Amino acid sequence: MSAVAGHALSLQRVSKRYGDFVAVQDASLEVASGQFLTLLGPSGSGKTTILMMIAGFVEPTEGRVLLDGRDITALPPERRDFGMVFQGYALFPHMTVAENVAFPLRVRKLGRAERDAKVRAALDLVQLDRFAERKPSQLSGGQQQRVALARALVFDPALLLLDEPLSALDKKLRAELQEELKALHRRVGRTFINVTHDQEEALSLSDEIAILNHGHLIQVGAPETLYERPATRFVADFLGKSNFIEGEAEADAGGFVLRRGAARVVASGAPRAGRTLLSLRPEKIALLPEGATEDNVVEGRIASWSYVGTGYALTVMTPDLGNIRVHLPAWRIPVSPAEGLPVRLGWARDAAVAVAEDPGSPVPGGVA
Amino acid sequence: MTPKGRHAAGWWALIIPALLLMTAFYIAPILQVLAISVTEPQPGLGNYERLFTSESVQRVIGTTLRIGVITTAIALLLGYVLAYRIAMSGPKAQRWWLLAVLVPLWISVLVRAFAWVTLLRRQGLVNQGLLATGVIDQPLALVWNELGIVIGMVHYMVPYAVLPMLSSMREIDPRVLTAARGLGAGRIRTFLRVFLPLSLPGLIAAGVLVFIFSLGFYITPALLGGGKTLMVAEWIKLQILDLIRWGLGAMMATVLVVAILATLAVLSRLVNLRRLFGAGS
Ligand SMILES: Nc1ncnc2c1ncn2[C@@H]1O[C@H](COP(=O)(O)OP(=O)(O)OP(=O)(O)O)[C@@H](O)[C@H]1O
Ligand SMILES: [Mg+2]
């Protein structure tokens, strides 16, 4: 199935307005052939709208959609030849699994023998060959989801669009199907565009993530880049958790130093001056044992703590920087946590990243 | 008896009056009709023999079936288009459409039948309009024949056709239609392969409803048929009230009831009737 490479898709300054309401504002996006891109954002941020503009169900108010450089903005959905998995699967309830999967082949007028062979191959691919004669209502959620995938893949589309394909499933099944989806992407080598509001799913599946908020495309980049170098406060907060430290920056030898009251926080990166917001991931902070030191050291007391299985989540009240959240694996905690216990927090100079505030406008080009 | 059982018995007692009423006013008369059909004018199956021997009896049944089928077909077609239009419009527009469909139901059948007569007769609005615009030069015979009956009956039946079909169409998940198009089916194919099959239960329900209604229809055929085209109901009235042939009238009434029950029985094998008429799901 992987003889054909995926399509490359690009959105050029696409906007969608419903009356006065802006659902998507000036979004530009490049998806390379064979890539797995995820549109990630909270509910109502415009993910489905963007996907529907790519699919051709929603006409952009402004901007163009290009497929391998060809303008397809005006092409009706049935002529775009994209595979689609819809929010809630949208299987045809009056058809069996096999008939559902055969549907795209039927409308493409394939011969019976070829059709049967392809349906069987597609059902094999998602391991549902035994269920071919069942109706969708006789399948579990996960099985229905796989039928939807088989139906979307059976006609070898060069581009697959998935709208929250896993959102209706329980956590364990979701994790399983994420694995399957990823393996499938590797096997078929097509371009996948996935929509989700689950940040873990986005991080584990994607080659690239595009983060949306209030219709703005805020940052696009590889999962590591987005996690390590978030462009704005929203990205840092939505993708994982973060502490925010605000202060006045001035350049120093290794990057810049941020002053907040009596405290100084050193950070690496491009020298900068003026009001600055730092994002600091809770898992990049250590509890320093007696005598140890770090680039940044802050003293405080444990305000609250909880055991979360993979480690401890602490909130440390510091006189200089306010509450700081810390996440540590159990083996890296030198003391047994207790409320009111005095601790010293330390983090390396390159642990914190300067991020922009979200004025509701996209950061041009992002940091990626 | 468990408390629960006593409860159940109590509830049953509550519906006994209704049961008695049903028996007195519904089941008893039907049984009596059945009895008359095999006792008048003399005991035996003589009346039923007429089904096979009398040409006039066969003609009435033939006419009734023909008009019933034609009416049902046209009412279903118009009703389907209407229901589709309603199902596809926004919630606010839907309310207005629904009102427009239901208003005729509040107007007496009699009034509507007379209205059609005034419209369709030789000097009626339709003929005059066509004559004036020169489309025809002789008035058309639009009423007091089968055509008139069909027009009047279709008009009466369309709302009954729309309602079950609309409720069936409303149950169709619009995402399924989007999916069909996303997978490469154009509008027409999406309709034929997805929408139509999914609305089929409503279509069948509407068909049964309208067909059964048409078989026993009285006022509209009596007024718009002008006494020349007889359908079963009017024929029965003729036998009983004018010709005082009680046995023959009762026989036809029994045949009508049996025909309706048979239609329902055949259908209940094909589809789930309870679902069809909207009881539970
Ligand atoms: N047809 C429409 N008319 C008016 N507003 C719309 C329409 N479709 C979507 N919107 C609005 O556009 C915004 C973005 O909607 P969209 O469906 O793209 O969100 P989403 O990111 O997919 O959310 P979710 O995660 O809840 O599916 C929402 O505020 C929504 O109310
Ligand atoms: Mg959505």
Task: Report which DSSP code applies to A109.
Answer: T
**CB of A317 within 8 A of CB of A303?**
yes
pLDDT digit string, tens, across residues B108-162: 889 999 999 999 999 999 999 999 998 989 999 998 899 999 999 999 999 999 9
- Whether A1 is in a domain gets the answer no
Q: Beta strands A296-307 and A312-318: pairing type?
A: antiparallel
Residue A241, SS3 per DSSP: coil
- Report the b/e string of A184-200 with b at 16+ CB within 10 A: bbeebebbbbbbbbbbe
Peptide bond into B41 cis (omega under 30): yes
Q: Which residues in chain A touch residue B182, judged by CB atoms under 8 angstroms apart?
A: 55, 57, 77-78, 82, 84, 86, 161
In this prediction, residue A309 has a pLDDT band, given cuts at 50, 70 and 90, of: confident
Answer yes or no: is the C-beta of A92 below 6 A from any ligand 1 atom.
no
Please enumerate in sequence order all residues whose Cβ is within 8 A of that of A309, keeping only pairs 6 or more positions apart, or say none: none
Distance CA B182, CA B180 (A): 5
> Which string of DSSP letters, residue by residue, matches A181-195?
HHHHHHHH--EEEEE
| CA nearest ligand 1 atom 20, residue | A44
* pLDDT confidence of residue B273: 61
Same domain, A295 and A249: yes
How many residues can be counted in chain B? 281
| CA nearest ligand 1 atom 10, residue | A23
* pLDDT confidence of residue A202: 93
* pLDDT confidence of residue B3: 53
Looking up tokens 């009285």 gives B218
Determine what percent of chain B is predicted with pLDDT higher than 70. 93
Residue that is last in its domain, among A189, A211, A229: A229
Q: Please, which residues bridge with residue A19 across strands?
A: none
Same domain, A193 and A45: yes
Residue that is last in its domain, among A195, A229, A263: A229
pLDDT digit string, tens, across residues A115-147: 999 999 999 888 888 999 999 999 998 899 889
Same domain, A220 and A248: no
* pLDDT confidence of residue A167: 79
Amino acid at A88: G
Q: How many domains does chain A have?
A: 2
* pLDDT confidence of residue A359: 64
Which member of A79, A86, A108 has the closest CB to residue B178? Answer: A86
- Whether A360 is in a domain gets the answer no
Q: Which of A80, A89, A107 to mutate to test the interface with B (most CBs of B within 10 A)?
A: A107
* pLDDT confidence of residue A72: 95
Mean pLDDT in residue range B94-102: 92
Answer yes or no: is the C-beta of A41 below 6 A from any ligand 1 atom.
yes
**CATH number of the domain at B54-276, out of 3.40.50.740, 3.40.605.10, 1.10.3720.10, 1.20.58.190?**
1.10.3720.10
Mean pLDDT in residue range A94-99: 95
pLDDT digit string, tens, across residues A6-56: 789 999 999 999 999 999 999 999 999 999 999 999 999 999 999 999 999
In this prediction, residue A367 has a pLDDT band, given cuts at 50, 70 and 90, of: very low
Same domain, A161 and A274: no
Least confident window among A317-321, B205-209, B275-279: B275-279
* pLDDT confidence of residue A245: 94
Residue that is last in its domain, among A229, A254, A289: A229
Q: Which residues in chain A touch residue B185, judged by CB atoms under 8 angstroms apart?
A: 78, 103, 107
Atom of ligand 1 nearest to the CA of A41: 21
Considering only alpha carbons, which residue of chain A is nearest residue B179?
A90
> Which string of DSSP letters, residue by residue, matches A154-206?
TT--SEEEEESTTTTS-HHHHHHHHHHHHHHHHHH--EEEEEES-HHHHHHH-
CA of A49 to the centre of ligand 1 (A): 6
Distance CA B256, CA B215 (A): 8
pLDDT digit string, tens, across residues A227-245: 999 999 999 999 989 999 9
Q: What is the extent of the structural domain holding A128?
A: 9-229
Q: How far is A204 from chain B (nearest CA, A)?
A: 27
- Whether A367 is in a domain gets the answer no
Q: Residue A347 corresponds to which tokens in the numbers above? A: 């983090």
Looking up tokens 């198009």 gives B181
Mean pLDDT in residue range A318-346: 90
How far from the centroid of its chain's Cα atoms is residue B61's Cα?
16
| CA nearest ligand 1 atom 25, residue | A43
Q: Which residues in chain A touch residue B184, judged by CB atoms under 8 angstroms apart?
A: 78-79, 81, 104, 107-108, 155
CA of A84 to the centre of ligand 2 (A): 14
Whether the predicted pLDDT of B268 surpasses 90: no
- Domain extents in chain B: 1-39, 54-276
A57 touches chain B (CB under 8 A): yes
Q: Report chain A's mean pLDDT, rounded to a whole number.
A: 90
Least confident window among A16-25, A148-157, A173-182, A190-199: A173-182
Same domain, A118 and A47: yes
Q: Residue B40 corresponds to which tokens in the numbers above? A: 């008048």
| Chain A, chain B: beta-carbon pairs less than 8 Å apart | 63
Determine what percent of chain A is predicted with pLDDT higher than 90. 69
* pLDDT confidence of residue A102: 97
What sign does the CA torsion over B107, B108, B110, B113 have? Answer: positive
Which CATH number characterizes residue A350's domain? 2.40.50.140
pLDDT digit string, tens, across residues B163-209: 999 999 999 999 999 999 999 999 999 999 999 999 998 999 899 98
Give B274: exposed, middle or buried? Use CB within 10 Å, 0-12, 13-18, 19+.
exposed
Distance CA B260, CA B157 (A): 17
Instruction: Tell me if B186 and A78 make a contact (CB, 8 A cut-off).
Output: yes
Considering only alpha carbons, which residue of chain A is nearest residue B175?
A90
**Which residues of B lie inside 8 Å of A (Cβ-Cβ)?**
173, 175-176, 178-186, 189, 193-194, 197-198
Task: Report which DSSP code applies to A357.
Answer: -
Please enumerate in sequence order all residues whose Cβ is within 8 A of that of B121, keeping only pairs 6 or more positions apart, or say none: B127, B142, B143, B144
Same domain, A329 and A312: yes
**CB of A362 within 8 A of CB of A211?**
no
Give A260: exposed, middle or buried? Use CB within 10 Å, 0-12, 13-18, 19+.
middle
Please enumerate in sequence order all residues whose Cβ is within 8 A of that of B262, keeping only pairs 6 or more positions apart, or say none: none
Backbone dihedral angles phi then psi of residue B24, each to the nearest 5 degrees: -70, -45
Amino acid at A288: L
In this prediction, residue B281 has a pLDDT band, given cuts at 50, 70 and 90, of: very low
Q: Where are the beta strands (DSSP E) in chain A?
A: 9-18, 21-31, 36-40, 62-67, 70-71, 83-85, 159-163, 191-196, 208-213, 216-221, 243-252, 255-260, 263-268, 274-280, 286-287, 296-307, 312-318, 322-328, 342-347, 352-355
ipTM, 2 dp: 0.77
Residue A250, SS3 per DSSP: strand
Instruction: Tell me if B184 and A81 make a contact (CB, 8 A cut-off).
Output: yes
Instruction: Tell me if A152 and B197 make a contact (CB, 8 A cut-off).
Output: no
Which member of A77, A88, A106 has the closest CB to residue B182? Answer: A77
Answer yes or no: is the C-beta of A229 below 6 A from any ligand 1 atom.
no
